[in-house]
Amino acid sequence: MTFKVKTQHEIGGKMKRVIIALLVTLFALVLIGCTSAPASVQPVEPSQQSTPAPPPAEELVPQVEEVEPQTPSGAIDWTEARQYVGQTVTIYGTVAGTHFASGSNGRPTFINIGVDHPNQNRVTAVIWGEYRDNFSQDPEVMYSGRTITVTGEIYLFDGVTNIRVTSPSQIQIIE
């Protein structure tokens, strides 16, 4: 029996081929593993997800329904104020316009309720200049566009229904 002794060069070359073959195999396995799911993992269908899908965009927009505001307890609608001339009542309505007549005699502030000037059907809360300082800010700004109640004496002037206001406590902001 004869033994052949291999040189280090022969062993090194064969070893290099084995290492290269192993690396190529390992690389191939990694590639295959990255491109396919393991057998134990099943893809989840959208209907099987535990978190619900977000609603369609149109469901996210709140639906606003316009409703007429309710008349506050004890108040009368501004359209009925003319029936109470000479009486102290609480009226209710939306401010349609305001004006501070700083250059006019008595420096009145007009708070037009329901409809704006020059409509004769309006109700005007009148705050004379001597009472403006009772308000923490300019009444024509504070009440503009707001829905309010006003308590005071109803009177007519030039065919327009007016209500006399001397104190901010007579006007309550509803909306």
- Position 27 in a domain: yes
Give the count of domains, the chain: 2
Residue 142 CA: distances (Å) to CA of 36, 52, 66, 95, 166? 69, 47, 24, 11, 15
Single-letter residue type at 32: I
- Residues spanned by the domain of 152: 76-173
Single-letter residue type at 82: R
Same structural domain, 83 and 23:
no
The 3-state DSSP class for residue 148 equals strand
Q: Where are the alpha helices (DSSP H) in the chain?
A: 8-35, 57-60, 129-132, 139-142
- Position 60 in a domain: no
Residues 98-145 have pLDDT tens digits of 999 999 999 999 999 999 999 999 999 999 999 999 999 999 999 999
pTM for this structure?
A: 0.60
Residues 2-18 have pLDDT tens digits of 555 555 555 566 667 76
Residues 6+ apart with CB under 8 A from 65: none
Domain CATH code at residue 160: 2.40.50.140
